[in-house]
Amino acid sequence: MLRKLASALPATLLLVACGGGPDINQVKADFNSPSGSVKNKDGMAAASGSLDASGSAVVVGGGGVPGQSLTAFGKNTGLWQLNARQAWGARAVALRDYLNGKSSQALSEAQFEGEGCDNTPEAQEAFNDLTADLATDLVFGGSKINGSASYSQDFSTCSGGELSGTAKIKIEFEAEQTGDDSGRFAFTVTYGFDNVCELTTDEKACLTGTMIIEAEAEGAGDFGALTFTSAWELDATWTEDGVERSATIKGGIRSSLEGDGSTGSAKIEVINYVTTPEGEEWSYVWEFEGAFNGLEGTATVSCRGSDGSVTCTIDDTGGSCTASDGSSVTWTAADESVWLEG
């Protein structure tokens, strides 16, 4: 049902302008207030094509929660090793808990939960550098403390032959007391991908560009629960049916999970951007929400825009979305390329 999250950069794509990297604060704002109209057939068709094109970025940016209806597993199995939530989620939680005065043992335990490209020696060393001076900062840092570390990663050396290419990676944290019993915590990872390719399928999807992943908490006392948001501007290339293709993709992902990892509920929101023939940029938010029990899951798909939300059905032939008032918009797979010409 959710071919969009599991696909590997299919043929219908929407090209968008790529600047100097994504603005994660703007992406977070656009999640709350998308600008595209869900009543515009061309916009919805183009957004569907853009969502399709973002399949590999969703895998890397943190998509994938238990339940087969809400996973980002798909053809890009090699790129799953770069899943940001998998690599940095436990470290972000451990750092937040440490700053809340809980056990410092969590900092070291978080270094050993991944393997391969999830938890390389380079990543471990950078995280250790980030946290090494925290005790001093907590004493002398006043109401706000921060830190950062950087490293380079060759993915061919950690992926067992599933990946090639390199990335420059920077990790940062910031913690601030904003009131007598409130604060803000942010843990940010920025990837600068240089022709990172997965080599395990015929598609050979490759990514070049910038992706930012942020784990943020604001609340009373212990900062509150973490929200994970990713944003990307990436050049993608791949081979489909023997034909080399390329596109520039811009978007982001926000996800949450409730439960014990085997049963519960989950929600994934994916934002994508499309550019009209007149050069105007529109944003759409696709929401995949469902329940899961072990490997089984069911999901509801909806799309949110500037003029409300609609419930959608999407498959290889196209899509259809219906609003609560009974109005609907329908498109075919061929319509998804409506803004690609020229």
**Token pair belonging to 206:** 């490759």
Domain boundaries, the chain: 3-337
Using alpha carbons, list the distances in angstroms from residue 35 to 6, 220, 280, 307. 26, 32, 10, 8
Q: What burial class does residue 172 get, using C-beta atoms within 10 Å of its C-beta: 0-12 exposed, 13-18 middle, 19+ buried?
A: middle
Q: Where are the beta strands (DSSP E) in the chain?
A: 144-154, 163-179, 182-198, 206-220, 227-240, 243-259, 263-275, 281-293, 296-305, 308-315, 318-322, 328-332
- What per-residue confidence (pLDDT) applies to 74? 46
* Window from 50-59, 136-145, 200-209, 308-317 with minimum mean pLDDT: 136-145
| pLDDT at residue 262 tops 60 | no
> Of 45-49, 62-66, 292-296, 322-326, which gets the smallest average pLDDT?
292-296
Phi/psi of residue 205, each to 5°? -70, 135
CA distance 256 to 289: 10
> Is the pLDDT higher at 312 or at 210?
210
Q: Is the pTM of this model over 0.95?
A: no
- pLDDT confidence band for 114 (50 / 70 / 90): low
Question: Distance between alpha carbon 217 and the CA centroid of its chain, in Å?
Answer: 17
Q: What average pLDDT does this structure show over 17-38?
A: 86
16: confidence class by pLDDT, cuts 50, 70, 90? very low
CB 52 within 8 A of CB 92: no
SS3 323: coil
pLDDT bin (cut points 50, 70, 90) of residue 165 is: very high
